Amino acid sequence: AQRGLEVALTDLQSSWNNVRHHTEEISSDRLLVRRGQAFNITLYFRKRGFQPGLDNIIFVAETGPLPDLSNGTRALFSLAGHHGPSPWIASLETNGASSLEVSLCAPPTAAVGRYLLKVHIDCFQKSVTAYQLGEFILLFNPWCPGDSVYLDSEPQRQEYVVNDYGFIYQGNKNWIRPCPWNYGQFEENIIDICLELLDKSLNFQIDPATDCALRGSPVYISRVVCAMINSNDDNGVLNGNWSESYLDGINPAEWTGSVAILKQWHATGCQPVRYGQCWVFAAIMCTVMRCLGIPTRVITNFDSGHDTDGNLIIDEYYDSTGRILENKKKDTVWNFHVWNECWMARKDLPPGYGGWQVLDATPQETSNGLYCCGPASVRAIKEGEVDLNYDTAFAFSMVNADCMSWLVYGGKEQKIHRDTNTVGNFISTKSIQSDERDDVTENYKYIEGSPQERLVFMRALQKLKARRSEGPHKADSQHSTPVPLNRDSPRSLHMPSLRPSDIVQVSLKFQLLDPPNMGQDIRFVLLALNMSLQFKDLKVNLSAQSLLHDGSPLPPFWQDTAFITLSPEEAKTHSCRIPYSQYSQYLSTDKLIRISALGEEKNSPEKILVDKIITLAYPGIMINVLGAAIVNQPLSIQVLFSNPLSEHVADCVLTVEGSGLFKKQQRVLIGVLKPQHRASITLETVPFKSGQRQIQANLRSNKFKDIKGYKNVYVDLRL
């Protein structure tokens, strides 16, 4: 009698398949493939080879705890060649004497995740033997036209999926500063941590079968990951903290990469890591999405609106000295806010709204009861289509709300004239294949003041009004009710917006005299210009206060009053200096100082407000690579750093990391640094990946937290 066909051994050809599937950076000994693209495996048999027509081979692929054919989490597909009901395909490549090479392909809509591959062998309708062939991980495929995350440009795929380092822009719109970041999405175990993150989500905990069945949808996955990055509803990766008190964790400004955070979360049994702020949430989200295969980039919006009541107006309150008051309503303008854009088709929306989608993992507002925001189509934001899913209205307000300024005194509120303070400026991301900043503001909005921009704003406002009159949303302050458009919205279609100069006839402006370096006095002038033909007597109250990047004010630490008399069309300057000794102990980690001037004219009720935000700068860390960088050859890296202050600093710690260069983050305890002291250390490492790499460094102490530096290094394969 004919012997049955017995499988002795399987070769998943991991190394060869992974190169073709762009996953070789993750591993060469585990199979990681992308959907919609074939991969080859070889079966080795005992006694005899495969005989077509005699042997029937059926492959089984299963994912999740409850694999089910009807859910798409279990697939049965035969080698016979006639395409059965399954969208998975198996085809014969080569049939050897005692081996068989087959090509398998998951459909471009398959659920991503960990799969078990089995085979059933059926010989002349006798007994069926089942074998387990091994495990593989299935990922999204931006290289496959049938995949909903398909991106048709190789340079973009290299940047938004494959590149494992980048820059996150911080500071303020007058001083945009790149912060180097190690995404490290292909480092050891990061893929496992990303899959663990999906399994820790509330959706999986409540209904694992449905959750796994939905994992083929990038819209679904992006919402799940977005909610899992913050710990507001679940055991998410990061705890947010904007209190300036970080003693029981790490100050968000100190991090230089995602890998250390994800590994710590995993190692502590998924306890949220302390602490994150917006750029850390966005960076972790970028790592996870790139790892899963969804093209992703990190976006910074300068002067970002947080409009809690959805009327597209953000009210800011000032006292008579010009200082900003803590806001009753929590409407605020963040100096910068960071979110992600992920690339995907949107079959759930009308045509034309696929492409880049906003996902914001910073816990600000709930969406369907969870702290996640998006995916909101960038195109829908630009067109004011704020009723399209998900959270488009909130995203629209971050780049479009208008600011109203109110002077609070004696229990009353008076509107102040202030030069247009629009939100949504210099929307920035790292350029493709270069270290330059790419300005993507025009993807989000039409040119400020153009007719299209007015129309979009009105369209959004009408849709929001309609929503609010239906919804349970109660207005909680006299300004949050929808206002007659021509009274309060500077963007009324009927009247041109009034500039302060039209009314007050006096203009005030701040000018810095030198770059604001940490440890030095801040010198600036207030410029007053009389544009009228009358004499003007001005009283100006000046003040300075620290800000957090989310716009929260700290108490003022410097005040001054100036009396300025201006003859017709005259300009005068008033010089100011804030000594380091006066601002040093009041600085927040964001190093933002807001100077403001509130001017009033004798015998006139009009008041004019001007302000400027200053970010104090540190000299960066210098990194030198000594000699050529070659895979598996020792490499010396010299790190030069200094204490920029004229006082002793203690508890100095230098951290250095870089994917493909260091197996883990290096921490060097430096201790005390004398005033203005310069120092250098040399680290030894052995690069283990070739290609373009980046080293990121941070120096912290008891007086400063985030002196940064970076160096790009090209690692060659051999001498």
Structure-block tokens of residue 117: 């591959």
Structure-block tokens of residue 428: 């920035």
Report the SS3 class of residue 317: strand
Tokens 């080293």 found at: 695
Do 367 and 376 contact (CB within 8 A), yes or no?
Answer: no
Stated as kind and residue range, the H or E segment containing 470 is helix 451-470
DSSP H helices, 136-270, are: 154-157, 190-199, 202-206, 208-213, 218-229, 259-267
Instruction: List phi, psi (to 5°) of 593.
Output: -120, 135
Structure-block tokens of residue 637: 């890296």
Angle between helices 259-267 and 190-199 (to 10 degrees): 60
Gap between the Cα atoms of 342 and 573, Å rounded:
48
Partners of 324 in the beta sheet? 318
Number of other CB atoms surrounding residue 642 within 10 Å: 18
Gap between the Cα atoms of 351 and 342, Å rounded:
18
Burial class of 514 by CB neighbour count within 10 A (0 to 12, 13 to 18, 19+): exposed
Do 612 and 419 contact (CB within 8 A), yes or no?
Answer: no
Number of other CB atoms surrounding residue 33 within 10 Å: 25
Gap between the Cα atoms of 324 and 319, Å rounded:
7
Find all residues with CB under 8 Å of 95, minimum gap 6, and list them.
49, 50, 52, 101
Structure-block tokens of residue 511: 């000018």
Do 488 and 313 contact (CB within 8 A), yes or no?
Answer: yes
Cis peptide before 275 (omega within 30 of 0): yes
Gap between the Cα atoms of 331 and 480, Å rounded:
10
Gap between the Cα atoms of 171 and 175, Å rounded:
6
Report the SS3 class of residue 385: coil
Tokens 């009034």 found at: 498
Q: How far is CA 319 from CA 410, 415, 597, 664, 682, in A?
A: 10, 12, 11, 50, 52
Gap between the Cα atoms of 34 and 293, Å rounded:
8
Active-site annotation, residues: 278, 337, 360
Q: Is 400 annotated as a binding residue?
A: yes
Torsion-angle region of 642 (φ positive above 0: left; ψ -120 to 50: alpha; else: beta): beta
- In a 13 Å sphere around the CA of 480, the CA atoms on its Cβ side amount to 16
Gap between the Cα atoms of 82 and 89, Å rounded:
10
Q: How far apart are the first and last CA of the chain?
A: 60
Structure letter (DSSP) for residue 257: B
Q: How far is CA 3 from the centre of its chain?
A: 59
**Identity of the residue numbered 478:** Q
Gap between the Cα atoms of 399 and 426, Å rounded:
10
Gap between the Cα atoms of 76 and 59, Å rounded:
6
Q: Is 365 annotated as a binding residue?
A: no
- In a 13 Å sphere around the CA of 253, the CA atoms on its Cβ side amount to 20
User: Binding site residues for Ca(2+), as ranges?
Assistant: 400, 402, 448, 453
- Summarize the annotated binding site as residue ranges: 400, 402, 448, 453
